[in-house]
A and B are shown apart, each in its own frame.
Chain A
Amino acid sequence: MNAVFNGALWFTQICVVLAMLNATARLLIGPAAQDRALAFDSLYVNGMLTLLLLGIRSRSTAYFDTALLIALFGFVGTTALAKFLLRGDVVEP
């Protein structure tokens, strides 16, 4: 039964890596700036999922703090990008 779980872990890791490739393609070909910002948002969530799956595979909780930091700073980055696209400036006087 443990082999089935291991196989599902492999399947999910391959799916997340393919999703990261799709998000990178959208990041490169995105016609407008908001498409690139959305692709960056999807890319950091997929990277965080990759770290969580690596943590399950290696049975170490050290990856988990990194995933927490990526979730926090990715949200800050997407919000700053959207604010810049909306107003032309991030920190307003």
Chain B
Amino acid sequence: MSSSTLPLWVTIPGTVLLVLGGLATLVGSLGLLRLRDFFSRMHGPSMTNTMGAGAVLLTSMLAFSAWTGRPTFHGLLVAVFLLTGAPISTSLLIQAALHRAGLRSGA
């Protein structure tokens, strides 16, 4: 962080996004740890998946755009993979939990 300083249009949104993303990640993991049953615990990691990862990826794209001097969109690929993968795995985990709880016979 010493050779070239970041401009102001990166540091202000980057700081806000980093703090918000870190808080969302921490609150989501606390929900994963402290909620009572499995279907309540499903809510926690979705906060990490959407808001924490989204904020960190936006900050990464902003910072690398400033460092390389041209618009950089390398975070979009990870965001696409996460945002398409998270609902599928969540739905499959809920189906598995319902199947194991005996609430649904066939699957």
Contact = CB atoms under 8 A, between A and B. Distances in A.
B51 to A, nearest CB: 11
B56 A53 contact: yes
A10 B26 CA distance: 14
Interface string B59-74: 1100110010000001
Given A1-B8, A48-B53, A83 B92 contact: yes
A82 B93 contact: yes
A49 B56 contact: yes
Nearest to A20: B29
Interface in A4-56: 4-6, 8-9, 11-16, 18-20, 22-23, 25-26, 32-35, 37-39, 41-42, 45-46, 48-49, 52-53, 55-56
A49 B52 contact: yes
A65 B7 CA distance: 26
Contact of B11 (A5, A13, A59, A78): A5
B59 A56 contact: yes
Contacts of A38: 32, 38, 41-42, 45, 93
B64 A15 contact: no
A18 B26 contact: yes
A19 B77 contact: no
Nearest to A4: B15
B25 A16 contact: yes
A19 B78 contact: no
Given A71-B85, A82-B89, A86-B92, A45 B18 contact: no
A26 to B, nearest CB: 5
Interface of A: 1-2, 4-6, 8-9, 11-16, 18-20, 22-23, 25-26, 32-35, 37-39, 41-42, 45-46, 48-49, 52-53, 55-57, 59, 61, 64, 67-68, 71-72, 74-75, 78-79, 82-83, 85-87
Sorted nearest first, the 4 A-B pairs with minimum C-beta distance are: A15-B22, A19-B29, A75-B85, A12-B22
